[in-house]
């Protein structure tokens, strides 16, 4: 079984590989008991949202042997959630990302540094 931080970073890297935008990983361990990490990213179109979700499910299984417990939403809803239990991935269409603004709702959650992105703000894990 993969540790949750490795799973979260892998999901973020896969999203980056398929050109998702504004990728961030929030460390939720001290804030909620539901999950360890949120991965949040933005897709630029409905087909892109479908592709990001597809690649996340398939490539995470390929790379780590991890399959999601569930996937909620569909591309037409402009928000998809892939639930790996300890990691929950939120894929937003760019029209909805600011509306729900999960990163602001959970502003007290530390951001995880992602090696493939420029350094994140202070308070990173």
CB 63 within 8 A of CB 90: no
pLDDT score at 115: 84
pLDDT score at 102: 94
Alpha carbon distance 29, 1 (integer Å): 18
Q: Global pTM?
A: 0.91
The H or E element spanning position 42 is strand 37-43
pLDDT score at 74: 87
pLDDT in tens, the chain (125 residues): 789 999 999 999 999 999 999 999 999 999 999 999 999 999 999 999 999 999 999 999 999 999 999 999 988 899 999 999 999 999 999 989 999 999 999 999 999 999 876 554 434 45
Domains of the chain: 4-105 (3.30.460.10)
Phi, psi for 81 (deg, rounded to 5): -125, 125
CB 83 within 8 A of CB 72: yes
pLDDT score at 84: 97
């Amino acid at each position: 079984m993969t540790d949750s931080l490795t799973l979260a970073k892998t999901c973020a890297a896969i999203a980056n590989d398929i050109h998702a935008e504004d990728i961030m990983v929030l460390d939720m361990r001290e804030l909620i008991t539901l999950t360890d990490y949120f991965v949040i990213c933005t897709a630029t179109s409905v087909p892109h949202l479908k592709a990001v979700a597809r690649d996340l499910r398939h490539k995470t299984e390929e790379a780590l042997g991890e399959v999601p417990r569930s996937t909620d939403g569909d591309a037409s809803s402009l928000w998809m959630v892939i639930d790996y239990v300890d990691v929950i991935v939120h894929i937003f269409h760019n029209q909805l990302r600011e509306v729900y603004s999960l990163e602001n709702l959970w502003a007290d959650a530390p951001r995880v540094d992602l090696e493939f992105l420029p350094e994140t703000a202070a308070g990173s894990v």
